[in-house]
Amino acid sequence: MWAADHPPIDSSQERTAAMRVVLPGYFSVLRIPLVAGRDLAGSDRENAPRVLVINQVMARTLFAGENPLGKRVMVATGAGPLAFEVVGVVGDARIYGVGQDAPMTMYATAYQYSRAMGLNIMVRTELDPEALAGAVRKLVAARDRDIPVENLISMERLIGDSVTAERVTAVTVTLFSAVALLLVSLGLYGVLAYYVTQRTHEIGVRMALGADARTVLAHVLARSGLMVIPGLSLGLVGAFAGTRLIERLLYNVTPTDAMAFATAIVCLSAVALVASVWPAWRAARIDPVQALRAE
């Protein structure tokens, strides 16, 4: 495929674009916006000039800085190249999956260019799409009983199936992360509880000398901060270093998204605070008399 105004010197300069053979109304059903020009029409028949609608990626690639409307695109076929006139430009669609960028795509009408052995019919409805399966089969059978109807599926399920692997990976990572967070919380709680037990006499002396419960509480929480802050710092460094490993699992989110990192810091700090409160509260309730007698 190439622009007729800029033919390739050799076959290595030919470009590849996805070809979709559709019928009029395709873009309105899928809500693909018409950016410029016109839609494919019922009047675009075999005896009319061949026409194409292209997406924005293709318009920018083949006709950078030019108006693509009225330009001709040569499409290589087994019978030789065919010339098509660009009559419209539509928005980009991720036709190979939500995780991949939209490729150059051209849309031809089935009235002029049909090589497909089958036909995909799309129906937009405000009702439950699964409930329309029987009605669609009856309509097709009323048209021609010899036409088989297969793979009736809603667009929501089709998109969901396309990201099954990514979804399984995300759930697995989330479960492991939750277990790791639980273990960290228990570990922090255990260390602080042991610290309070070992410092019972010291805390009793402090309180006997005039330290109030608030001062003791702040002291234990500060001890927690001495462990949490270095851990968070090392975790941030490791997270920045490992972001490239999960980049392919992200959709419309950059690997170094500031909001994601800020949310993680707030959540981890909140978990650390919750894990530290009980040991700190126990320390603040120590009876100095009992603590000194125990010593």
Q: What's 35's DSSP letter?
A: E
On whether both 170 and 257 belong to a single domain, the answer is yes
With tokens 């019922």, the residue in question is 42
User: Residue 104's pLDDT band (boundaries 50, 70, 90)?
Assistant: very high
Q: Give this prediction's pTM.
A: 0.63
- pLDDT exceeds 80 at position 99: no
C-alpha distances (whole Å) from 28 to each of 20, 93, 155, 264 are: 15, 13, 15, 41
Highest mean pLDDT among 7-16, 30-39, 143-152 belongs to 30-39
Of the candidates 105, 120, 135, which is a domain's last residue?
Answer: 120
Cα-flanking dihedrals φ and ψ of residue 68, to 5°? -75, -20
Residue 132 lies in a domain: no
207, part of any domain: yes
Instruction: Quote the percentage of the chain above a pLDDT of 90.
Output: 19
Is the confidence at residue 293, as pLDDT, over 70?
no
Q: Residues 91, 191: one domain? A: no
Q: What are phi and psi of 49, to 5 degrees?
A: -60, 140
116 with 188, same domain: the answer is no
Tokens coding 220:
């234990």
Per-residue confidence at 291, pLDDT binned at 50, 70, 90? low
Number of other CB atoms surrounding residue 276 within 10 Å: 25
For residue 53, what pLDDT is reported? 95
Tokens, residue 275: 């894990």
At residue 106, the pLDDT reads 94
User: Which one of 88, 120, 152 terminates a domain?
Assistant: 120
**275 lies in the same domain as 179:** yes
Q: What is the mean pLDDT of the segment spanning 191-208?
A: 75
Question: What is the token pair recorded at 181?
Answer: 């967070």
E strand or H helix at 295, and its extent?
Answer: none
136: in domain: no
Q: Flag the least confident range among 40-49, 231-240, 282-291.
A: 282-291
The residues, any chain, with a CB within 8 Å of residue 20's CB and separated by 6 or more, are 26, 95, 105, 106, 107, 108
Q: Count the neighbouring beta carbons within 10 Å of the beta carbon of residue 21.
A: 18
- Give residue 137's pLDDT: 84
Domain carrying residue 116: 2-120
In a domain, 127, yes or no: no
Mean pLDDT of the chain: 82
pLDDT at position 57 is 94
Are β-strands 105-109 and 18-22 bridged in parallel, bridged antiparallel, or unpaired? Answer: parallel
- Say if 153 falls within a structural domain: no
Residue 140 belongs to a domain: no
Whether residues 7 and 113 share a domain: the answer is: yes
Q: What is the pLDDT of residue 180?
A: 87
Cα separation of 14 and 210, whole Å? 85
Both 112 and 174 in one domain: the answer is no
For the chain, how many structural domains are there in total?
Answer: 2
Extended strands (E) in 60-199: 72-75, 82-90, 105-109
Note whether 175 and 72 are same-domain residues: no
159 domain-assigned: no
pLDDT at 117: 60
In a domain, 210, yes or no: yes
Percent of the chain with pLDDT over 70: 92
Q: Is 188 helix (H, G, I), strand (E, B) or coil?
A: helix
pLDDT score at 52: 93
Residue 123's pLDDT is 82
How many Å apart are CA 225 and CA 269, to the nearest integer? 9
Is there a single domain that holds both residue 84 and residue 168? no
Are 258 and 193 contained in the same domain? yes
105 and 202 part of one domain: no
What is the SS3 assignment for 129? helix
The predicted pLDDT at position 54 comes to: 95
pLDDT tens-digit map of 232-283: 888 888 888 777 777 766 766 777 788 888 888 888 888 888 888 877 777 7
φ/ψ (deg, to 5) at 166: -65, -35
Output the pLDDT for position 51. 94
Of 229 and 250, the structure prediction assigns the larger pLDDT to 229
